[in-house]
Amino acid sequence: MKKINIVLFGTGNVGSKLINQILEAREILRQKEGLEINLPVIANSSTAFFQKENQQASWEADLTNFGFPYRLEDILEYVHNEGYENLIAVDATASEQFVDNYNELIHAGFHIVAANKVANTRSSQFYARLRETLLEHNKYFLYETNVGAGLPIVETLRNFHRTNERVTRVRGVFSGSLSYIFNTYCEEEKTFSEVLTEAGDKGFTEPDPRVDLSGKDVARKLLILGRELGLKKEFEEISIQDLVPKHLNGQSTLKNFHRNKKDLDPIFLKLKKDLKQDEVIRHVGELDLQTGALDVKLVKESRTSAFGSLQNADSSFEIFTESYGKQPLVIKGAGAGAAVTARGVLTDLVKLAEKLH
């Protein structure tokens, strides 16, 4: 029986779903994969809970009742003293700062699985140095959920690149939030601000919807894919169409944005009126490997195309390669949501376990 020991950082939507999915799948993984997943440490931004044996379904109450303020050093000392092997740190945070701990974790014997995109979108120097450290210590770093949640986008592009299949272009509806917004807006007789409010109420957007509308999250995902294909690009080099007017941007308060978000309505109504009968608006990220250009923008799409036929909060990706020619490989499905992202992280954990002794 192979055993992996996970230290989970982040107990928000994705982290919580992941723990519950591990608990539900634990017996099946033992029987079918010969794999035991142990969760000796669960930590949020301020509190950690240690448990020597397998975590139970009561983990939330245990974290609340028996958790304690911690430093990273406390966790590293604990797993070392307990002699845990096959250590994997799971970063289910969205923290800009937590990735600064990656090198220390690797030095302490951890592999890393991350839903957090930050490490892969920092400077090229940070990106390269992290991979050098992983190589030096013979450790793995898996992050399939950085792009497309549970969809196999990163792995597909990586395999093409490794086997010398020339990828010429990648286009995608990367954001489940913006997918829902424009799918709904183009199909229903509602104002843009009404659809935006509805998307927020359903939990599709960030608490501050300007995070989604800015296009920066899509740009980060585009950068991750570009780097997988060998492009040496920085975030600042990406052309991003910001959908938030200057008077409503981050220089003003969120309250001011919500008070005046109807200012968005005439902008998008004009775009909608300019559509042909068989066209819809979609928010896409596009990577041109021949020119090295990375673009995040609104486009018009035929209703019958892979992007135009999207529904709800689904994502779709078109990958153009030398072998596929003019007909792209299309990967389509749920591209957002805590459950599918957590399932993607669990898949990464199982894939990583296969590589370990």
Q: pLDDT by residue (tens digit) across 88-124?
A: 999 999 899 999 999 999 999 999 999 999 999 999 9
Q: Are residues 102 and 157 in the same domain?
A: no
**Which pLDDT does position 317 carry in this prediction?**
97
Same domain, yes or no: 177 and 76: no
Around Cβ 191, how many Cβ atoms within 10 Å?
16
Q: Which helix (H) or strand (E) holds 344?
A: helix 338-355
- Do 292 and 222 share a structural domain? yes
pTM beyond 0.85: yes
Instruction: Clarify whether residues 182 and 299 are in a common domain.
Output: yes
Q: Percentage of the chain surpassing pLDDT 90?
A: 86
Q: Is 246 assigned a catalytic role?
A: no
Looking at 17, 221, 261, 332, which residue is catalytic?
221
Question: Do 31 and 169 fall within a single domain?
Answer: no
Could you tell me the two tokens for 33? 């994969």
Domain ranges, residue 195: 153-335
| 3 beta partners | 36
pLDDT score recorded for residue 207: 83
User: Is pLDDT above 90 for 61?
Assistant: no
H helices of 41-123, where? 59-66, 72-82, 102-107
223 and 237, same structural domain? yes
Judgement on whether residues 317 and 343 belong to the same structural domain of the protein: no
* pLDDT for position 204: 83
Shared-domain flag, residues 343 and 331? no
Q: What is the mean pLDDT of residues 129-148?
A: 97
Q: Are residues 250 and 326 in the same domain?
A: yes
Q: State the average pLDDT over residues 261-286.
A: 96
In this prediction, residue 66 carries a pLDDT of: 86
Domain count for the chain: 2
pLDDT range class, residue 205, cuts 50, 70, 90: confident
Tokens representing residue 192 in the block: 């843009």
CATH of the domain at 136: 3.40.50.720
> Do 117 and 244 share a structural domain?
no
Does the structure show a pLDDT above 90 at 357?
no
Residue 25 burial (CB count, 10 A): 17
CATH of the domain at 290: 3.30.360.10
Give me 310's structure tokens: 């999207």
* pLDDT of residue 54 exceeding 70: no
- Looking at residue 283, its pLDDT comes to 98
Pair (344, 278) in one structural domain? no
Are residues 20 and 45 both part of a single domain?
yes
Mean pLDDT over all residues of the chain? Answer: 94
